[in-house]
Structure formats: structure tokens, C-alpha cells
Structure 1
């Protein structure tokens, strides 16, 4: 791969996260959007969704846990690699991230930081998966973003509940390299 995922993240601080075809259409109309997190689909539609994004020059990241019909097994990553032109995957499952790395796909480990136990588990998951980036949710926790950014070597993406420019700026100021949002009003912040 010519460009490293870190370089895409560094150059694109806001990631469009899409949850339907209307979101795909809207982000394809916007040249400034380079990375797209696909948060929907099924085994019958994921190829078409990825192809639409690739036709518009986007980096397509498939959220494995949210595609209906895919299992939580490593073979699901093989399916994405062999049957789509996706650039990478997002998952909460370290085993899927590990398999995607073996297949030379970009990887984002999604972690829900809901309590101190979840926070303490991040280091273990990072060691198992070794993702290109980590996405922490919810993304409205500057103190937690700061702690995670110090804890891990991978770039941190803040996602979830990002709804206005101030949320984006707070997450970036706290140490996130990018934010992901389904809220189209923040895509061009």
C-alpha cells in the first residue's frame, strides 16, 4: 500500500461514518472526505457499498461487527479481503484485527470506554491485536482520550456522540488524531 493509514488519518481529522446509503451518497459528494467508516450493510450489499466509495476515491473501512451475515470468525475478514476492495476493517474483536493485519488491510480496534475495567483492558487488547489505530467511544471524554493517547502507541480516533465543532476540537486537543462521526454537519469542520 502506497500511503500508510496514519498518513490518511493525519491528513483527514474528520472521518465520515455512514449508517445508510444516503450517508454514502452524501460523503461521495464531498471531496474533502477521504476516509469513510461503513457502519451498516450485509453480505449481499457490502461489496456494492465499498465499490461506490472506491469509485469516488475514498478509503473504505468496513465495521465487521455491524455487517449482517458475517460471523465473528477470522474467515469473515478473508471474505472482505477476497470479495471487496475495502482498504481495511474496524472491529471490537482483536482476533479479527490480527487477521486483517495478516491480510495487509488497515485496522482500527474499536473500544467502548465505559468504566475503569474497560480502560484497564485497552493495553491487553492492543497487545493482542496491534491495530493501526484505536477508536474510543464515546468520543466526548477529553480526559480519557488524553489518557489513552499516552497509554497506546497507535493513533487514537474519537467516535460516538461527536455532534458539533467544539466536540471535534476538544477531542483533537486531547490527543485524538481524528474523530469519526455520522453527523454530517461536522464532516467539513
Structure 2
């Protein structure tokens, strides 16, 4: 599914155009609302970009079973990203690929995050910040899930370090990194 190990994290409307001319074949849609998300998803998919809607950032889609059903049936992205366990479970039932986003700010957050992964059973995990190779390695040792890193990634060296530590891919908000060849 992932051809480029750099995932476009689209966090402003202006970046939609930029991702279309990049090497990215996967995008995390982190902008918009219920009125624009459908058009944005279709536009990206028309360019063979697999789209994951970040439910914590797209306004107007309820954080409940009906919101997930609406997204799956009407918008039809490849999957979702969220920090919420219950949305992971609902999305899996609707046939969407699920990515659980976790913030690892200290040891207790890592421990709690691992428990959340076991409970929700997402298809992949995104950890933030993405510039902590030691933690990536530790997580890879305790979960078979594909690991995506994101947040605070500024250059190709940080992407390479994350991949070397065990990450599958890096989500980057900076368009200058979207053509990085790893």
C-alpha cells in the first residue's frame, strides 16, 4: 500500500495542491469539515493517493458510530486516524483501515499507549513526536503493528533515523519533504 515512506500530512487547504505534485501516495487529511472532506478525498484519490481522514481535525463529523458510518459510506476514504479507541473499533466494523495516533510524552504515556493498542487493535499506529528513535525501537519490540511516526520531523536525516529504528513511514507536514526518496 505504501510506495513512498513519506506520508503527506495535509494540515492546511493550500497543501492539497502541493501533495498532488509530490511523490506521496498516502495522505493524512487533517483539514476541512463535513462540507469539504468529500471533495478533498475524491480529489486526492483521483490522483491515486490513498487518503486517511484524521477525525480529530475534520469538523462536523460526529465522534460516534453514525459519524463513522457516514464517513465509510458517503466519503469513502481508505481509512481513519484518531486518538480515540472507540472510533477505531467502529471504523474497523465499517471496513476502514485504522491508524491510532499516540502521543509519547513520557514513560507512563508509552505504557498507557501500548495498553490502548491492545484494546483497540488498530491496523497501524502513529506515534508523536516522530524524532525519538529509541522509543520507536521499543514499541516495535512489543507490537507487530506497522509504526508511522509524525510530528517535529524537520529533515531527511530524521526520517531515515525513524525508518532505521523500525518505523514503516513518516508523516510530514512540510511539502519540501514529500518528495524525499527513502
Which range, TM-score by smaller chain? over 0.9
How is 1:40-119 mapped onto 2 (pairs within 5 angstroms)?
40-119=31-110
Write out per-residue CA displacement over residues 127-183 of structure 1, whole angstroms, 9 at most, x where no aligned residue: 221111100000011111111111111000010011100110110011101000011
- Asked if 1:35 corresponds to 2:26, the answer is yes
* Counterpart Cα distance in 1 of 2:147 and 2:137: 9
Residue of structure 2 equivalent to 1:4? none
* Counterpart Cα distance in 1 of 2:36 and 2:25: 21
Runs (4+) off by over 3 Å: none
Note the C-alpha offset of 1:46.
0.7
- Asked if 1:141 corresponds to 2:137, the answer is no
Q: TM-score, normalised by structure 2?
A: 0.95
RMSD of aligned Cα (Å): 1.1
Instruction: Identify unmatched segments of 5+ residues in structure 1.
Output: 1-7
Residue of structure 2 equivalent to 1:19? 11
Note the C-alpha offset of 1:55.
1.2
Q: TM-score, normalised by structure 1?
A: 0.91
1:125 to 116, 128, 138: 116
Write out per-residue CA displacement over residues 5-42 of structure 1, whole angstroms, 9 at most, x where no aligned residue: xxx23x32110110122211111122x21000001111
* Counterpart Cα distance in 1 of 2:142 and 2:15: 33
Asked if the contact 2:13/2:32 (under 8 Å) is kept, the reply is no
Instruction: Identify unmatched segments of 5+ residues in structure 2.
Output: none
Note the C-alpha offset of 1:85.
2.4
Aligned length: 180
